[in-house]
Amino acid sequence: MKIINGGITKVKGIKGQGVHAGFKKEKLDFTIIYSERVCNAAGVFTKNKAAAAPVIIDREFLSDGKAQAIVCNSGFANACTGNEGIKDALFTAEYTSEKLGIKKENCLIFSTGVIGIPIPMKIMESAIDKTVPLLDTSDEASENIANAILTTDLVKKEVTIENDGYIISGITKGSGMIHPNMATMLCFIFTDADIPSNILKDALKVSVNKSFNRISVDGDTSTNDSVVILANGLSNVKIDTIEKHKSFCEALDFVCIELAKKIARDGEGATKLIECECIGAKSQDDADCISKSIISSSLVKSAIFGEDPNWGRIVAAAGYSGAEMELDKIEVYLGDLRIVNKGKSAGIPKEESRKELQKDYVKIKIIMNLGEYSSKSWGCDLSYDYVKINAQYHT
């Protein structure tokens, strides 16, 4: 496995473009990504019962495990927009598919932005007209694509790797409304490996549970959360043995985890990335619950922002997670510094432990000493700027 420079268009047969269409005042806000061959495809979507129109449409379109293009606008979520929202999403798929010469059902639609406001469809139509002739395989096109899907994000988020003769490349957006069980995020992954859609679906589900379902910024789960993967097979590398399948899954896990960490680090107003590793839990569910509970705790996140080594908040978050726990067996580390031993203070001076919280990447490790299961989750600190950003988001 090797990380390479570049983005989505490094995958064979993939071209696209990101443009400023007018959904937002100035920034790039619309993208189309297209594969020259129909892809095997799979998706994982939000569990929010107020699912946006594009999520409803994409679930239906992906029922046959096929896709060929992605269309995404930023600025309007097309969520809580009733039947008109469904019609608008379907029109977007139909109009784009006509311009690309593909089946409507193979054109996946995504939207991100403010909830409850109908998409301005005149802008959508002109955006499609503008973008289709500009589809390109250049690095500039890749960069435009990655930037066009952002909302409150401060940086683009992409990872591209070469593995066993094929490429996997992913882009994502997400900065707020981020919480386990998906987040206010979109993630588009492309590969030129040749892999059946049923195996792709299983691999994606496992990877999402290891990555995007283990990040939290603020405890909110959005209406538009979507992760999709498209495989066009143009590398002619078939994933047809146990060894190749294992290698593909490891590569996909790497891409998803790296993208998830980029989301956590770019959390709205964040100054630090937090990693929590739970070791020695009684079950896998317990390990997952504990690591997620700690990185989701507003008190833990606030303490880390203030560089306050208040380890009691870490132990408390583990205690209310619902997982099995014996207090007198717990150890807690900040980096390599053990601050809790057998459920009590290890006597480390505050100034020494505070140094671990002054780092950009804060690592918490909690050892339960009850079993052999472990889990990692990622989050960010909770700063003053988070409130400012979200107090003014709609206006």
Q: Which residues are annotated as a binding site?
A: 151, 173, 184, 268, 390, 395
CA angle in degrees (0–180, nearest 5) for 138-143-148: 125
Name the token pair of 344. Answer: 């009590």
Instruction: Write the burial class of residue 83 (CB in 10 Å: 0-12 exposed, 13-18 middle, 19+ buried).
Output: exposed
Residues contributing to the annotated binding site for substrate: 151, 173, 184, 268, 390, 395
Active-site pick, 184, 191, 221, 223:
184
Collapse the DSSP code of 131 into the 3-class scheme (helix H, G, I; strand E, B; otherwise coil) and give the result: helix
270 to each of 139, 263, 386, how far by Cα in Å? 29, 10, 7
CA angle in degrees (0–180, nearest 5) for 363-364-366: 150
CB atoms within 10 A of CB 11: 29
Report the C-alpha gap between 153 and 171 in whole angstroms. 13
Collapse the DSSP code of 91 into the 3-class scheme (helix H, G, I; strand E, B; otherwise coil) and give the result: helix
Helix (H) or strand (E) holding 157: strand 157-163
Q: Which residues of 364-376 are buried (b: 16+ CB within 10 A; e: fewer)?
A: bbbbbebeebbbb
**Catalytic status, residue 31:** no
CB atoms within 10 A of CB 391: 9
Report the C-alpha gap between 41 and 285 in whole angstroms. 28
Report the C-alpha gap between 102 and 105 in whole angstroms. 9
Report the C-alpha gap between 32 and 232 in whole angstroms. 16
Q: Radius of gyration (Cα) for the chain, nearest Å?
A: 21
Query: Among all residues, which ones are annotated catalytic?
Result: 184
